[in-house]
Amino acid sequence: MLRLQHVSKLFNPGTADEKIALVGANLDMKAGDFVTVIGSNGAGKSTLMNLISGVYRPDTGDIHIDGQPVNTVSEHRRSRWVGRVFQDPMAGTAPRMTIEENLAMASLRGQHRGLMFAVNRKKRQLFQSELEHLGIGLEHRMNAKVGLLSGGERQALSLLMATFTNPQILLLDEHTAALDPSRAELITRLTERIVREKKLTTLMVTHNMEQAIRLGNRLIMMDKGKIILDVKENRKQDLSVAGLLGEFERISGHTLADDRMVLG
Ligand SMILES: Nc1ncnc2c1ncn2[C@@H]1O[C@H](COP(=O)(O)OP(=O)(O)OP(=O)(O)O)[C@@H](O)[C@H]1O
């Protein structure tokens, strides 16, 4: 479903500013996997997401989605296969456009944008029923500008938009980190439900260890551009926050010294 083979990414090569963001990353995700990613600041987590969604091209190595090589496929075309929700609730939406217009855009993901605003009655009904299914009352506000929604409402809409066309891969990039605890819990539950109902293959970066254990059927830890630990499904039941922290320390040789890390 998603395969990374020896993927590396270097920024500003050969300069004093050279940064090794990812080194020889290997990752094999099968359909329906929910892999959570944890790691220290600057470990390469966002770079991993950016490489999968096509923002960057790898310097070396190969990325395959559903068996297709995608290294040279543009971010726009790749968005047919890859849905993404960002930490900033504004990032995946157009705040000056209405909920309906945003959904129209999401429904044409990765395709020609000329038909963007052609929303017929059937489509409007589909948007309305999908919004109703979200269960947060947005179906009554189809003409509201997205910029006027609360952070939680925007993230719920972002989740719906990222998953509208049933992408092969869903990327969640600390998508609850900017929300207060009750809204974060709402979005976490919504995420669990949508991923389960649509049987999505999901990769989620989080700084919340408990969330990582709760949502993922598999967990990877990153440090200094490397995947240093891959806890597979059969070990999931053994996972605890304390155990994971200990394992990270043992393998990396340092503590997860990250003030954004939430233990639960
Ligand atoms: N566009 C860029 N230009 C130069 N260096 C970059 C760029 N993007 C990332 N880096 C560097 O690559 C390394 C990995 O960064 P990345 O953002 O992937 O880490 P991260 O694990 O997501 O960190 P955080 O948890 O702080 O968001 C860091 O040293 C970072 O400074």
Question: Rounded to whole angstroms, how far apart are CA atoms 138 and 140?
Answer: 5
| Per-residue model confidence as pLDDT tens digits over 196-226 | 999 999 999 999 988 999 999 999 999 999 9
| Per-residue model confidence as pLDDT tens digits over 154-165 | 999 999 999 999
Give me the pLDDT at residue 217, please: 92
What average pLDDT is seen over the chain? 91
Instruction: Identify the residues whose C-beta falls under 6 Å from ligand 1.
Output: 11-12, 19, 21, 39, 41-47
CA 56 to ligand 1: nearest atom: 1
Give me the pLDDT at residue 51, please: 98
Stretch 5-15: mean pLDDT, rounded?
A: 95
Give me the pLDDT at residue 263, please: 63
Higher pLDDT, 18 or 116: 18
- What contacts 255, CB < 8 A, 6 or more positions away? 245, 248, 249
Q: Looking at the domain 2-92+169-252, which fold is it?
A: Rossmann fold (3.40.50)
Asked if pLDDT for residue 113 goes beyond 80, the answer is no
How many angstroms separate the alpha carbon of residue 66 from the centre of ligand 1? 27
Question: Rounded to whole angstroms, how far apart are CA atoms 183 and 92?
Answer: 18
Stretch 72-87: mean pLDDT, rounded?
A: 93
CA 47 to ligand 1: nearest atom: 18
pTM of the model: 0.93
Q: What's the ipTM?
A: 0.97
- What contacts 114, CB < 8 A, 6 or more positions away? none
Give me the pLDDT at residue 264, please: 55
Give me the pLDDT at residue 253, please: 86
**Domain segments of the chain as ranges:** 2-92+169-252
How many angstroms separate the alpha carbon of residue 147 from the centre of ligand 1? 28
